[in-house]
Homo-oligomer: A and B are copies of this chain.
């Protein structure tokens, strides 16, 4: 009887002897994955990763919901088959959408999160000891329930007494609430054709709803789509310009999020000038205000995320497109069309 032994040998050319090579590497090569997640970033660009396990699946009236164990990114949350957030690097996105605005605000007490049903954005907001109340307003009850049940890292956030969880259309909720906020965070789906969210990136929404609901000195921050060298013209520059046409002060920033296969963009906007927050001051505020440790952001990193490269800055400076209901731009992708928000 024979037995197949798989070995990689390394030959020492000086004396001809062989030594065993780490077998793990060759095993990786030989053991083929058979289940793959594929996201079509563009019609001719695919991001494909191996999936070892489907942890949970669900479907709301708006979208399909899946939690899978991926090879390269750990646990990955998918909405409508689009990667929303990956265990391995979600801290980059969530620290970036939350902390710059809260650090630039002099004393943020009340925060409104549009979307954010995953819970990670609330989790980061709650690290600020100044914050007394976080309204987290997501339209999709099932996503919220799913994440509350399955994302243990956000369990504390979901159960915090400082958090008020509302299931509603963010626009309707803001309009109906008789209160204002220090920071409003747009942790929204990307604007895709047929999707529920593109009206929450429009000039009229910013002008008539958001402005009315910000306290004096209040800051809006919104995720603003891909902001890479090749992708920032899709919606990022337009969202930036739309905010520039609406608010007196606007700060765009960006960071590479590996699981998104791109650099991602956010924009802060306010009618009051942003303070001059240098590296040292940022580090001081982080130390003073934030409980728990940040892993991505500190003074130096924030400085770098705000310093967009020459090419992107040039596009942003020259952008004239204003995002309205009638002139909407979309990034590649499709809504499941299960139900539209508006």
Closest to A7 in B: B9
A296 touches B311 (CB 8 A): yes
Within 8 Å CB of A53, what residues of B? 54, 57
Counting chain B CB atoms within 10 Å of each CB, the highest count among A28, A43, A340 belongs to: A43
Inter-chain contact A88/B334, CB cutoff 8 Å: no
Contact check, A2 vs B8: say whether CB atoms are below 8 A apart.
no
User: Across the interface, do A43 and B71 meet the contact criterion of CB distance under 8 Å?
Assistant: yes
A296 and B88 alpha carbons, distance in the complex (Å):
29
Q: Is the CB–CB distance between A21 and B42 below 8 Å? A: no
Contact A310-B336, Cβ < 8 Å, known A48-B46, A72-B44, A194-B4: no
Q: In the assembly, what is the distance between CA of A68 and CA of B36, in Å? A: 13
Closest to A40 in B: B32
A11 within 8 A of B: yes
Contact with A301, one of B25, B42, B307 (Cβ below 8 angstroms) = B307
- Taking a contact as CB atoms closer than 8 A, the residue among B256, B296, B309, B342 that contacts A263 in the complex is B256
CB contacts (< 8 Å) of A21 on chain B: these are 4
Q: Is A262 a contact of B255 with CB atoms below 8 Å?
A: no
Q: Is A261 engaged at the interface, CB distance under 8 Å to the other chain? A: yes
Q: Is A176 an interface residue (CB 8 A)?
A: no
Contact partners of A33 in chain B: CB under 8 A: 38, 43-44, 81
Does A6 sit within 8 A of B, measured CB to CB? Answer: yes
Q: Say whether A2 contacts B7, CB under 8 Å.
A: no
Q: How far is the CA of A303 from the CA of B307 in the complex (A)?
A: 8
Residues 137 to 164 of chain A near chain B (Cβ within 8 Å): none
The 8 closest A-B pairs by CB, nearest first: A44-B50, A44-B71, A34-B81, A304-B307, A46-B48, A54-B54, A256-B256, A301-B309
Q: Could you tell me which A residues sit within 8 Å of B by CB distance?
A: 1-14, 18, 21, 25, 28-40, 42-51, 53-54, 57, 68, 70-73, 78, 81-82, 88-89, 92, 193-194, 199, 228-231, 255-258, 261-263, 294-298, 300-301, 303-305, 307-311, 313, 325-326, 334, 336, 340, 342
